[in-house]
Amino acid sequence: MLNFKVLGLRKKNRARSVPRASAPAFALPKISWARIVPPILSVVAISALLVGMGVSLDRPLKTVMVNGPFQRVPALEVERVVRENLNGGFLTANLSTIQHAVEKLPWADHARVQRHWPDGLYVQVTEQVAAARWGDSSLVNARGEVFAVDARHIPEELPRLDGPAGSESQVTELFFQMSPRLLEQGLRPVALTQDARGAWQLELANGVVVRFGRRQLSERVDRFLRAGTAVLATKGAEISVLDMRYSNGFAVSWRAHSQPEASATPLQHLVKDQDNDV
């Protein structure tokens, strides 16, 4: 008789449904107040301390010290301007506003305003230095800035500069570029002008007029400083006008008292190719 063994055949168990665990409810993160509160209190305390110190230090201003040469800018005018523009205490006063107000005074070039402990201000004023006259009644400094319009007292020894509006800086710069070279030759410049058409003209103390015209100003000035000044140094008393408005030379106009034959000079070979700016 055969025995049959059934291996591995067992009755299967039915799968049971296991209930899922429900998701936990949302919970706020735990805050460690013991760690957070002390730093916050420290910041609040420091801020309160600083505010208190600021209030105590921003005391009313009691003194204003003004310093300067006071040859052209009266000290009383500076004090008046400071008083009119003073808002706030020692810490809150706007120093920039005071500085700009002082610098608007006639003949005031620059102002420096500082706090002076414990309840004062220090104001240092630098006055303008007139380098030349501008037009008939104004003054200009070495930077080409017109600072006194309709000035009452203009020193006669100052050179006279003039030109269209906006040309102040260029005219002033050119004049003071030429001056040292001219003085080395014994020639003193007294005036430099640019007319409405843009033509330039230089006047010397000996009465000679130098015309540069409108074009090629740099080249003509260089030619004048190289060759024209040498002629003026020797024959300046006989020359009325030195005309530089030529491409590679210059023309000479002699004074009325000079002899006609004086015009026959070696300069004639330089007068060539007159350009269109005459």
Q: Read off the pLDDT of residues 175-221 as tens digits, 9 standing for 90 and up.
A: 999 999 999 999 999 999 999 999 999 999 999 999 999 999 999 99
- Residues with Cβ within 8 Å of 212's Cβ and at least 6 positions away in sequence, in order, are 199, 200, 201, 202, 220, 221, 224, 244, 245
**What is the structure's pLDDT at 212?**
97
Cβ–Cβ under 8 Å, residues 195 and 181: no
Tokens 């491409």 appear where? 247
113 and 243 share one domain: no
Q: State the Rg of the chain over Cα.
A: 43
Q: Are 159 and 152 in contact (CB under 8 A)?
A: no
Which residues make Cβ contacts (< 8 Å) with residue 255, sequence separation at least 6? 237, 238, 239, 240
114 with 210, same domain: the answer is no
Model confidence over 58-104: pLDDT tens digits? Answer: 789 899 999 999 999 999 999 999 999 999 899 999 999 999 999 99
In a domain, 42, yes or no: no
Whole-number pLDDT of residue 24: 57
Q: 224-251, pLDDT tens digit by residue?
A: 999 999 999 889 899 999 999 998 889 9
186 shares its domain with 250:
yes
In this structure, the answer to whether residues 203 and 225 fall within a common structural domain is yes
Domain that holds residue 104: 63-127
For 34, the token pair is 């013991």
Give pLDDT, residue 261: 43
Of 108, 127, 146, the domain-final residue? 127
Contacts 24+ apart (CB under 8 A), 200-205: 200/174, 202/178, 204/232, 204/236
Per mean pLDDT, which range of 22-36, 67-81, 245-259 is the poorest?
Answer: 22-36
Tokens of 58: 């921003």
**CATH code (residue 99):** 3.10.20.310
In a domain, 233, yes or no: yes
Residues 123 and 226 in one domain: no
Longest dimension (CA), the chain: 169
CB 245 within 8 A of CB 274: yes
Q: Do 75 and 136 belong to one domain?
A: no
Q: Same structural domain for residues 198 and 184? A: yes
Query: How far apart are the C-alpha atoms of 121 and 63, rounded to whole Å?
Result: 6
**What average pLDDT does range 145-149 have in this prediction?**
91
Mean per-residue pLDDT of the chain: 82
255 and 136 in one domain?
yes
Q: Is residue 247 part of a domain?
A: yes
Q: Which residue has the higher pLDDT, 51 or 122?
A: 122
Tell me the sheet residues that pair with 163.
none
Residues 164, 199, single domain; the answer is yes
Q: Is residue 259 part of a domain?
A: yes
Average pLDDT over residues 147-176: 93
Do β-strands 189-194 and 63-67 pair in parallel, antiparallel, or remain unpaired? unpaired
User: Are 114 and 160 found together in one domain?
Assistant: no
In a domain, 13, yes or no: no
**pLDDT of the residue at 32:** 64
Query: What percent of the chain stands above pLDDT 70?
Result: 72
Same domain, 164 and 257: yes
What confidence category does residue 45 fall into, taking pLDDT thresholds of 50, 70 and 90? Answer: low
How far is residue 192's CA from residue 174's CA, in Å, rounded to a whole number?
9
Which of 92, 127, 162 is a domain's end point?
Answer: 127
32 part of a folded domain:
no
Of residues 28 and 224, the one with the higher pLDDT is 224
How many domains would you assign to the chain? 2
- Report how far apart, in Å, the C-alpha atoms of 194 and of each of 113, 146, 171, 172, 212 are: 39, 16, 8, 11, 10
CATH code of 184's domain: 3.40.50.11690
Residue 59 confidence (pLDDT) = 82
**Does 44 score more than 80 pLDDT?**
no
**96 or 48, which is more confident:** 96
Which position has the token pair 């296991």?
18
37 within domain boundaries: no
Which is more confident, 105 or 55?
105
* Nearest alpha carbon to residue 74 among 106, 37, 43, 44: 106
48 part of a folded domain: no
> Residue 19 pLDDT more than 50?
yes
**Mean pLDDT calculated for residue range 34-44:** 64
Decide which of 76, 103, 127 is a domain's last residue. Answer: 127
Alpha-carbon distance 155 to 114, whole Å? 34
Residue 2 has pLDDT above 90, yes or no: no
Query: Token pair of 27, please?
Result: 């919970």
Both 258 and 154 in one domain: the answer is yes
Q: How far is CA 166 from the centre of its chain?
A: 15
